[in-house]
Amino acid sequence: MKPSLSLTRRHFLGTAAAFGGAAVAPSLLPGQAHAAGSLTVGFIYVGPKDDFGYNQAHAEGAAAVKAMDGVTVIEEENVPETNDVQNTMQSMINFDGAALLFPTSFGYYNPHILELAPKFPDVRFEHCGGLWGADDPKNAGSYFGYIGMGQYLNGIAAGHATKSKKIGFVAAKPIPQVLNNINSFLLGARAVDPSITCQVIFTGEWSLAVKEAEATNALADQGCDVITCHVDGPKVVAETAAARGAYICGYHADQSPLAPEMYLTGAEWNWAGVYTDMVTKFMAGEPIDNFVRGGLADGFIKMSPLGPAVSDAARNQFEATKAEIMKGGFAAIKGPLKDNKGNMIAAEGEAFVESDVALESMGYLVEGVIGSTS
Amino acid sequence: MNDTATASLGIPRPALAKWLPRAEAVAIPLAALICGLVVFSLFLLTQGKSPIEFYALIYKAGFSTAFSWQNTLSRVAPLLFAGLCVALPARLGLVVIGGEGAIALGGLAAAVLGASMAGASPLIGLPIMFAGAALVGGAWIGAVGWLRIRRGVNETIASLLMAYIAIALMNHLVEGPFRDPASLNKPSTAPLTDALRVGDMPIGVEVHWGFAFGVLACVISWLLMDRTTLGFAARIAGDNIRAAQVQGLPVGKLVIGFTALGGAFAGLAGFFEVTAIHGAANASLVAGYGYTGILVAFLARHNPLAIIPVATLLAGFEASSGLIQRRMDLPDATILVMEGIVFVVILLSETLYGRLPVFNPRFWETRA
Amino acid sequence: MTDIGLWGVPLAILGGAIRVSTPFLFVSLGECLTERSGRINLGLEGTLVFGAMTGYAVAYQSGSPWLGVLAAALAGAVFGLFHGWICKFRGVNDIAIGIAMMLLGMGLAFYFGKPFIQPVAPDLPAIPLGWWSDIPQVQAALQVNALFIVGGLLALALHWMFRATRIGLTIRVVGDSTDAARAIGLNPDTVRLLATAAGGALAGIGGAYLSLYYPGSWNEGISSGQGLMAVALVIFARWNPINCFWAALLFGGAGALGPALQSVGVSSGYYLFFAAPYVLTLALLILTSSPDKALHGAPGELSITK
């Protein structure tokens, strides 16, 4: 998709039309976006929707909704987690008649969605992050996926690929969802070889290109030869790691086009199914659960196709474990297991399955992860 | 022509001398605004988009209905405070660009104080949080003024460096010592109780009290600058530091005082973000208002009263960004391009001050 | 790969200094040139971002990263010319125009840059100056981009120019006193126009380094304020090109401290380590300033220091 910089014929015609027909611009007519019997769905992203990451994963889901009959999709990108998002949501409701909103960034929920949902009881707010609690408005919901399982599978691919027995993780902030990914990544690798360690570096921001590159370089300097990440846009990490000769496990979306030879696999969101499902239910007037979770088996997440560097042994273990996870009830965190400060987190025989809510307040890094949570 | 108090057209000369500069100060930027919009229209035409549709959408999203005004006005408060943080030191000839840091720390101070007074009544709690935010912001930017006077450290670079340091400090404290353990995936300070939240003004649309306080802060600053000897002294020092010193003005105290006051206002921006919007301090406090404030102040030519319309205009532009993205299929950056073009033209128009004969009293006399 | 343990920290600082400093170096050299002529262009952040986008787009379209650098320099020069031309008018505030142009530059870059976030453009090549070492980490740290070397040489050249050439003298005279310059028959507006254009071109190159080498990709968050910071570094460097070089190195090296310390296991309080470049610069600034010689080396006509 090479974009053209030249002034095309279409461009020119557009210009001519802009001179002429502006007086009756259709976008100014009221109710333009919601004709009778159709539904307007609003998607709000915190960053650019083609970031090879978090926002792109959601935008791909939105694209699937766009293809549905009787649905109009409106989108807005780069909306910060401030009062701005409240204004954006209200603007979508007031001006476009949106009845179903997908504010996709974690920080949109509290206080912004919680503030607006009671004021617009007829509008449905579906938030990504898994934050809904029983006291929250009934017309709000928050969904999330067990993507830690994807990182566990990433870890298996990494465990087979690493020669130095050191793998690396570039993380934004030490919060439960990130810690769960780091731990799962290492435990997957340790399912291959228990001597493997994982080095983690926090950048402190969800999107900060130079720091992500520096963190990746620092990991490579320490000998990490497989690197994954949890930042909003993994493009910089993937490209920098590949340039340093490290293998990459992807996250959020498929980054294999960035470094096809070095890309092992990746833990991807699979929002298309989730979103079309919710929209179908909403249009049929069926209730949508407020608290929605799902994993690999439910189609909430998926794995990127295995790359050329993945060995047969790795492929076998990867597929076997994936089949295991697909059965449901898989636990990455199971006893005996200590955290990296020596505290017991799971006794012999104890296991936290993927759907265990306790994992959502994880505050530790498991033994073998080099790094600290604060 | 006689030289008495009356000029032509029956307008007394003192009235001309008083009102012509004011008319000039309104007419030139307004004309420039229109010119800027015309220039931006050309840009839109090269992109095959209709300028008429574009401006109609700005009007619709930012200024037409009650909700449009809510959308606009709810964005104004932090811009007013951040603008003052630049405008006040600027009257002394100082270019302070680090308001962002004072906003972050002011917000943090308000949140931490509020969290420690969970049971307090708003009558006690809110003033303490208000004062705390102002004090911390004032101390942070006041330190920039102090460094300038005592150590000769350039205030532009010092304030910018200190903004980055303040943000790092805030992030560290929010994720470390002051973190509410219940704030799992978005590290924040403990949530404020409802009693310690600032609500909306009773004007029918949801705009919080920060707007009224921001306007008040601008008016007070204007009075201070234009109607007191302190402000007069500051302006003298701003025009010429040596002359001010020769006249025995306390330049050091003025510099520290005005930077601190500007910082206090920036701290209040943080106070209102925390108490009216977020209910806790977290990384969302760093939203770039401090940097937008620089633009606001310069466009207002550091006149505190002019900050109000400039901030409102800017907020209206920002408010319409979403609708333009959705209706015209233009990227979100379109509004940035428009702001850039319009503001360059407005700033360029400053060259016209004192040059247009129509604003010269003589123009009216010679017609007689 | 060799396990280098704690040696990773100084090595990362060295590597980081070389990798991260180049945009700071180009922007601050450009701004140094502009400010020595008596103008301040606070908008180089916008020029940097536009340069990053232009460089990436042209490199992607043409397949040649060097063509991208050239395009970025040209785009930067256009921004500089525009700034220089506007500021020629009496009563126009150069700082304010700079801020508005920062907005314009970023707006245009984001506007036209949307289609280039996804594609992968060819990177600028690096020169392996670590060939003498067997340790891969040393080799990696000494992967030096040609632009870094060019930047270093440029600092020397500018220093020499200000000291010993007619052009340098002209710029300095104009920067120190408009009246004096006019008296000896110089046209201050033209000199400043050219100095601002050259400064813009250098800032554009700094941007191209970001998108075409390190981190080597185009997105809207590519610059985390490098352009603005570099403008401030000029004051720190006392308007001396050689000092600009050291300031940029210091800033880049200190920025690598945070990730490097975490990579050897020191990770508590990481936000504070990340603030190291700012704290260090501020501390040095305070130590080297004094109220008496407040602005030693400042051009007399500079609005920011008057």
Structure tokens at B240: 């010429």
Flag if B294 and C90 touch (Cβ within 8 Å).
Answer: no
Rounded Cα distance between A369 and A338, Å, is 11
Flag if C12 and A221 touch (Cβ within 8 Å).
Answer: yes
With a cut of 0.95, is the ipTM above it? no
Provide the angle, in degrees to the nearest 10, between the axes of the packed helices C226-236 and C8-36: 80
Percent of chain C with pLDDT strictly greater than 90: 70
Rounded Cα distance between A250 and A301, Å, is 13
What is the least distance, in Å, from the CA of B94 to any CA of chain C? 8
The pTM for the full model equals: 0.92
Long-range CB contacts for residues A28-31, cutoff 8 Å, separation at least 24: A28/B53, A28/B56, A28/B57, A28/B60, A31/A97
According to the model, what pLDDT value does residue B217 have?
98
Q: Are C253 and C10 in contact (CB under 8 A)?
A: no
According to the model, what pLDDT value does residue B2 have?
46
The one-character DSSP state at A324 is H
Domains delineated in chain A = 39-145 (3.40.50.2300), 148-268+302-370 (3.40.50.2300)
Rounded Cα distance between A45 and B325, Å, is 13
According to the model, what pLDDT value does residue A28 have?
53
According to the model, what pLDDT value does residue B239 have?
83
Task: Kindly indicate the confidence band of residue A81, based on its pLDDT and cuts at 50, 70 and 90.
Answer: very high
C139 has a chain B CB within 8 A of its CB? no
What is the least distance, in Å, from the CA of B42 to any CA of chain A? 10
Rounded Cα distance between A327 and C247, Å, is 58
Flag if A18 and B49 touch (Cβ within 8 Å).
Answer: yes
Domains delineated in chain C = 5-127+147-288 (1.10.3470)
According to the model, what pLDDT value does residue B287 have?
93
Chain A residues closer than 8 Å to B326 by CB = 33, 74-76, 92, 96
Rounded Cα distance between C297 and A95, Å, is 57
Q: How many A-C residue pairs are in contact by the CB < 8 A criterion?
A: 138
Exposure string of B195-228, with b = 16+ CB inside 10 Å and e = fewer, is bbbbeeeeeebbbbbbbebbbebbeebbebbeee
What is the least distance, in Å, from the CA of B63 to any CA of chain A? 13
According to the model, what pLDDT value does residue A18 have?
44
What is the distance, to the nearest Å, from the Cα of residue B246 to the centroid of all Cα atoms in its chain?
A: 33
What is the distance, to the nearest Å, from the Cα of residue B18 to the centroid of all Cα atoms in its chain?
A: 27
What is the least distance, in Å, from the CA of A90 to any CA of chain C? 25
According to the model, what pLDDT value does residue B190 have?
95
Residue in chain A closest to C23 (alpha carbons) equals A210
Pairing of strands A351-352, A100-103: unpaired
HEC secondary structure over chain B: CCCCCECHHHCEHHHHHHHHHHHHHHHHHHHHHHHHHHHHHHHHHHCCCCHHHHHHHHHHHHHHCHHHHHHHHCCHHHHHHHHHHHHHHHCCCCCCCCHHHHHHHHHHHHHHHHHHCCCCCHHHHHHHHHHHHHHHHHHHHHHHHHHHHHHCCCHHHHHHHHHHHHHHHHHHHHHCCCCCCCCCCCCECCCCCHHHCCCECCCCCCCECHHHHHHHHHHHHHHHHHHCHHHHHHHHHHHCHHHHHHCCCCHHHHHHHHHHHHHHHHHHHHHHHHHHHHCCCEHHHCCCHHHHHHHHHHHCCCCHHHHHHHHHHHHHHHHHHHHHHHHHCCCCCHHHHHHHHHHHHHHHHHHHCCCCHHHCHHHHHHCC
Provide mean pLDDT across the span A359-370.
Answer: 94
C177 has a chain A CB within 8 A of its CB? no
Flag if B186 and A23 touch (Cβ within 8 Å).
Answer: no
Chains with 3 or more CB pairs closer than 8 angstroms to B?
A, C
Of A212, A257, A374, which has the smallest distance from its Cβ to C215's Cβ?
Answer: A212
What is the least distance, in Å, from the CA of B37 to any CA of chain A? 16
Structure tokens at C269: 């309080």
Exposure string of B44-58, with b = 16+ CB inside 10 Å and e = fewer, is bbebbbbbbbbbbbb
A214 has a chain C CB within 8 A of its CB? yes
What is the least distance, in Å, from the CA of B45 to any CA of chain A? 5
Flag if A204 and C270 touch (Cβ within 8 Å).
Answer: yes
Q: Are A18 and B51 in contact (CB under 8 A)?
A: yes
The yes-or-no verdict on residue B26 having pLDDT over 80 is: yes
Chain C residues closer than 8 Å to B154 by CB = 235, 285, 289, 294-295, 304-305
The one-character DSSP state at A306 is P
Task: Kindly indicate the confidence band of residue C42, based on its pLDDT and cuts at 50, 70 and 90.
Answer: very high
Alpha helices by DSSP H, listed for chain C, are: 8-36, 44-62, 65-86, 94-113, 136-141, 146-164, 166-176, 178-183, 188-212, 226-236, 241-263, 270-274, 276-288
Residue in chain C closest to B334 (alpha carbons) equals C111
A5 has a chain C CB within 8 A of its CB? yes
Q: What are B31-66's pLDDT values in tens digits?
A: 999 999 999 999 999 999 999 999 999 999 999 999
According to the model, what pLDDT value does residue B244 have?
83
Q: How many B-C residue pairs are in contact by the CB < 8 A criterion?
A: 148
Which residues 6+ apart lie within 8 Å of B358 measured at CB?
Answer: none
Which residues 6+ apart lie within 8 Å of C32 measured at CB?
Answer: C158, C199, C234, C237, C239, C240, C241, C244
Helix (H) or strand (E) holding A347, with range, is none
As to burial, measured by CB atoms within 10 angstroms (0-12 exposed, 13-18 middle, 19+ buried), residue A153 is: buried
Residue with tokens 């050897």: C264
- Helix, strand, coil share (%) of chain A residues, nearest 5: 40, 20, 40
Rounded Cα distance between A21 and A16, Å, is 9
Nearest CA to A38 among A279, A272, A275? A279
Rounded Cα distance between C239 and A87, Å, is 45
Rounded Cα distance between A364 and A211, Å, is 24
Task: Kindly indicate the confidence band of residue B21, based on its pLDDT and cuts at 50, 70 and 90.
Answer: confident
Q: What are C198-251's pLDDT values in tens digits?
A: 999 999 999 999 999 999 999 998 998 899 999 989 999 999 999 999 999 998
Helix (H) or strand (E) holding A101, with range, is strand A100-103
Q: How many C-beta neighbours within 10 Å does residue B354 have?
A: 11
Q: Are B100 and B167 in contact (CB under 8 A)?
A: yes
Q: Are C135 and C2 in contact (CB under 8 A)?
A: yes
Chain A residues closer than 8 Å to B185 by CB = 106, 129, 131, 175-177
Q: Are A96 and A42 in contact (CB under 8 A)?
A: yes
Helix (H) or strand (E) holding A54, with range, is helix A54-66
Mean residue pLDDT across chain C:
91
According to the model, what pLDDT value does residue A11 have?
43
Q: How many C-beta neighbours within 10 Å does residue A57 have?
A: 23
C166 has a chain B CB within 8 A of its CB? no
According to the model, what pLDDT value does residue C1 have?
52
Nearest CA to A218 among C7, C12, C215? C12
Provide mean pLDDT across the span A94-118.
Answer: 95
Structure tokens at A345: 């987190």
A75 has a chain C CB within 8 A of its CB? no
According to the model, what pLDDT value does residue A31 have?
45
Rounded Cα distance between A150 and A296, Å, is 8
Which residues 6+ apart lie within 8 Å of C110 measured at CB?
Answer: B331, B332, B333, B336, C49, C53, C220
A372 has a chain B CB within 8 A of its CB? no
Residue in chain C closest to A235 (alpha carbons) equals C217
Of C105, C279, C289, which has the smallest distance from its Cβ to B152's Cβ?
Answer: C289
Q: Are A136 and A151 in contact (CB under 8 A)?
A: no
List Cα–Cα distances, C171 to C29, C30, C89, C229, in angstroms. Answer: 14, 13, 19, 24
According to the model, what pLDDT value does residue C301 have?
82
According to the model, what pLDDT value does residue A146 have?
95
- For chain B, the structural domain boundaries read 13-49+330-368, 73-314
What is the least distance, in Å, from the CA of B112 to any CA of chain A? 18
Flag if A94 and B176 touch (Cβ within 8 Å).
Answer: no
Going A345 to A351 to A355 to A356, the CA torsion angle's sign is negative
Provide mean pLDDT across the span B158-186.
Answer: 94
Long-range CB contacts for residues B35-41, cutoff 8 Å, separation at least 24: B35/B345, B35/B349, B36/B341, B36/B342, B36/B343, B36/B344, B36/B345, B36/B346, B37/B338, B37/B342, B39/B341, B39/B342, B39/B345, B40/B337, B40/B338, B40/B341, B40/B342
Chain A residues closer than 8 Å to C12 by CB = 214, 217-218, 221
Of A28, A94, A131, which has the smallest distance from its Cβ to B67's Cβ?
Answer: A94
According to the model, what pLDDT value does residue C293 have?
58
List Cα–Cα distances, A154 to A151, B343, C72, C138, in angstroms. Answer: 5, 50, 39, 29
- Taking only residues 259 to 288 of chain C, the set having a beta carbon closer than 8 angstroms to any beta carbon of chain B reads 269, 271-272, 274-275, 278-279, 281-282, 285-286
Chain C residues closer than 8 Å to A370 by CB = 265
DSSP string over C140-167: HHTEEEHHHHHHHHHHHHHHHHHHH-HH
Of C97, C100, C278, which has the smallest distance from its Cβ to B164's Cβ?
Answer: C278
Percent of chain B with pLDDT strictly greater than 90: 78
What is the least distance, in Å, from the CA of B163 to any CA of chain C? 9
List Cα–Cα distances, C241 to B118, C111, C158, C286, C297, in angstroms. Answer: 55, 34, 6, 20, 12
Length of chain A: 374
The yes-or-no verdict on residue A337 having pLDDT over 90 is: yes
According to the model, what pLDDT value does residue B243 have?
80
What is the least distance, in Å, from the CA of B174 to any CA of chain C? 11
For residue C166, the one-letter residue type is R
According to the model, what pLDDT value does residue B367 have?
56
| Vertex A129: Cα angle to A125 and A134 (nearest 5) | 65
Q: Are B81 and B265 in contact (CB under 8 A)?
A: yes
Of C103, C232, C290, which has the smallest distance from its Cβ to B343's Cβ?
Answer: C103
Chains with 3 or more CB pairs closer than 8 angstroms to C?
A, B
Percent of chain B with pLDDT strictly greater than 70: 96
Flag if C219 and A239 touch (Cβ within 8 Å).
Answer: no
Residue with tokens 């959705």: B326
